[in-house]
Amino acid sequence: MKARVILVGGFLGAGKTSLLFEAANKLTKNGKRVGLITNDQAPELVDTTFLEYTEGAIREVSGSCFCCNYEGFTDAVLHLIKDKQADIIIAEPVGSCTDLSATILQPMKEHFGRDFVIAPLTVLVDPKRLSDILDGRYSGLHPSAVYIIRKQIEEADIIAISKADLLTPGEAEELKRRTAKEWSNATVLTISSRTGEGMDEWMKEVTSRTDAGSNLAEVNYDIYAEGEAVLGWLNATLELKGDSIDWDKFAENLLNALSRRFDASNSAVGHVKLILQAKDSFLIGNLTGNNEAPNIRRSAGIANEAKMTLNARVQMEPEKLEKIVLEEMAAVCGTDIESSILALQCLSPGRPQPTYRYDHVIKVSQ
């Protein structure tokens, strides 16, 4: 049986990593050997640390997106197949990345179509952002960032509307109907990583179908580059020390403080996520929009020491983003918590320069 590679794209905050986490656990329980590939413009990823809590083998491709580092991505795939004997590999590209069908799926089909099976491209979409875009609104984002979201959806084989637990059954059906009407070439599903709703249906689709990359989007790289460049991109890892600190409360306070600062400056939030580990426990928290309460799952409990990785993607200059994050960290730590920066990078992504870009769909005979 050939190994299968599944790409799950979608904009920042759509819930890709949560989907990978739950899918990996389900597949492992069903006896599959799972490989997971994360991707970012810089190292120190919350996603990689979080996914290490699955039983899957992890590879991280950092420093550029998959499409601009095609060999790095395919090397990671081959490593997981050959060295880790993975049956199924699920890969999560950078959230601001699009044109995956032309730059990843088509060359993979041509180069590796006989070696492993490539599943249909799934694009995960936050229901609130999707609804805004269908209504002609920008959901607080720069028009060029909205352009990226639309292009992501346009090239999808499967559009998965995430966070279905936040919708009533009627709202979900109406959003599916409108989405299917707008993008009629894709299968449209609703899914919730939190409740498991729609997970089995989605997993059946991506583990049985072979029609990968059936749609190519026409992408203007000037607009695409602008949509990425408007975002400040911060990755940081810190060591935290105090006396019997409630780390759950600390994470909540930090995310609330950052939310207030970004709202006050009218800076659209792509996502802010953190993972905080204390002893054998961890929590993961995130913000996925403006004027929203943080979402915190699991518990890091009370302990004297913790390690935290924080990733922020916010529509502002990188220098301003770094200043705000460090100021709010210092304020939340106060005099009770000592923080030491182990790693910190803040940047704006450069212009995408894909290794390959196909203008036609490659057919593979299985």
- In angstroms, the CA 148 to CA 221 distance is 10
Residues 33 and 125 reside in one and the same domain: yes
Residues 205 and 239 reside in one and the same domain: no
Residues 189 and 44 reside in one and the same domain: yes
User: Is the per-residue pLDDT at 365 higher than 80?
Assistant: no
Residues 222 and 242 reside in one and the same domain: no
- Percent of the chain, pLDDT > 70? 99
Residues 101 and 201 reside in one and the same domain: yes
Residue 356 forms part of a structural domain? no
Residue 353 forms part of a structural domain? no
Per-residue confidence (pLDDT) for residue 247, from 0 to 100 = 98
pLDDT in tens, 279-288: 999 999 998 8
First to last CA, the chain: 12
Residues 281 and 295 reside in one and the same domain: yes
Mean of pLDDT values over 118-147: 96
Residue 130 forms part of a structural domain? yes
Question: How would you class 345 by CB atoms within 10 Å of its CB: exposed for 0-12, middle for 13-18, buried for 19 or more?
Answer: middle
User: Is the per-residue pLDDT at 43 higher than 90?
Assistant: no
The DSSP secondary structure of 138-195, one letter per residue, reads -TTS-HHHHHHHHHHHHT-SEEEE--GGGS-HHHHHHHHHHHHHHSTTSEEEE--TTT
Give the pairing of strands 158-161 and 122-125: parallel
Per-residue confidence (pLDDT) for residue 22, from 0 to 100 = 96
Q: Which residues lie below 8 Å from residue 52, measured CB to CB, with a gap of 6+?
A: 58
Residue 81 forms part of a structural domain? yes
Residues 192 and 97 reside in one and the same domain: yes
Element (H, E) at 20: helix 16-29
pLDDT in tens, 265-278: 999 999 999 999 99
Give the pairing of strands 117-118 and 122-125: unpaired
At 317, is the secondary structure helix, strand, or coil? coil
Residues 52 and 198 reside in one and the same domain: yes
Least confident of 60-64, 116-120, 349-353: 60-64
How many domains, the chain?
A: 2
pLDDT band for 145, please (50, 70, 90 cuts). very high
Residue 363 forms part of a structural domain? no
Residue 366 forms part of a structural domain? no
Q: Quote the domain boundaries for residue 84.
A: 4-227
- State the average pLDDT for the chain: 95
Q: Tell whether the torsion through CA atoms of 241, 245, 250 and 252 is positive or negative.
A: positive
- Which structure tokens are listed for 10? 């979608």
Give the pairing of strands 269-278 and 281-287: antiparallel
- In angstroms, the CA 45 to CA 124 distance is 19
Residue 275 forms part of a structural domain? yes
User: Is the per-residue pLDDT at 133 higher than 70?
Assistant: yes
Nearest-CA neighbor of 146 among 102, 96, 190?
96
Q: Examine the fold and report which residue of 206, 227, 248 is the final residue of a domain before the chain moves on.
A: 227
Is residue 117 within 8 A of residue 3, CB to CB? The reply is: yes
Residue 200 forms part of a structural domain? yes
User: Is the per-residue pLDDT at 366 higher than 70?
Assistant: no
- In angstroms, the CA 23 to CA 316 distance is 33
Residues 249 and 213 reside in one and the same domain: no
Per-residue confidence (pLDDT) for residue 293, from 0 to 100 = 82
Q: Examine the fold and report which residue of 227, 248, 274 is the final residue of a domain before the chain moves on.
A: 227
- In angstroms, the CA 225 to CA 267 distance is 19
Angle among Cα 30, 31, 37 to the nearest 5 degrees reads: 95
User: Is the per-residue pLDDT at 123 higher than 70?
Assistant: yes
Least confident of 48-57, 243-252, 310-319: 48-57
Give the pairing of strands 295-299 and 281-287: antiparallel
Per-residue confidence (pLDDT) for residue 68, from 0 to 100 = 95
Residues 327 and 201 reside in one and the same domain: no
Is residue 123 within 8 A of residue 32, CB to CB? The reply is: no
Residues 263 and 204 reside in one and the same domain: no
pLDDT in tens, 193-233: 999 999 999 999 999 999 999 999 999 999 999 999 999 99
User: Is the per-residue pLDDT at 290 higher than 80?
Assistant: no
pLDDT in tens, 328-344: 999 999 999 999 999 99
Task: CATH number of the domain at 247, please.
Answer: 3.30.70.360
Mean of pLDDT values over 177-193: 98
Per-residue confidence (pLDDT) for residue 59, from 0 to 100 = 95
DSSP state of 361: P
User: Is the per-residue pLDDT at 46 higher than 70?
Assistant: yes
User: Is the per-residue pLDDT at 292 higher than 80?
Assistant: no
Q: Examine the fold and report which residue of 182, 203, 227 is the final residue of a domain before the chain moves on.
A: 227
Mean of pLDDT values over 30-37: 96
Strand partners, 234: 312, 346
Task: CATH number of the domain at 102, please.
Answer: 3.40.50.300
Residues 78 and 166 reside in one and the same domain: yes
* Residue whose structure tokens are 């924080």: 310
pLDDT band for 44, please (50, 70, 90 cuts). confident
For the CA atoms of 22, 49, 325, 126, the dihedral, rounded to the nearest 10 degrees, stands at -20
Enter the pTM of the model.
Answer: 0.95
pLDDT in tens, 78-119: 999 999 999 999 999 999 999 999 999 999 999 999 999 999
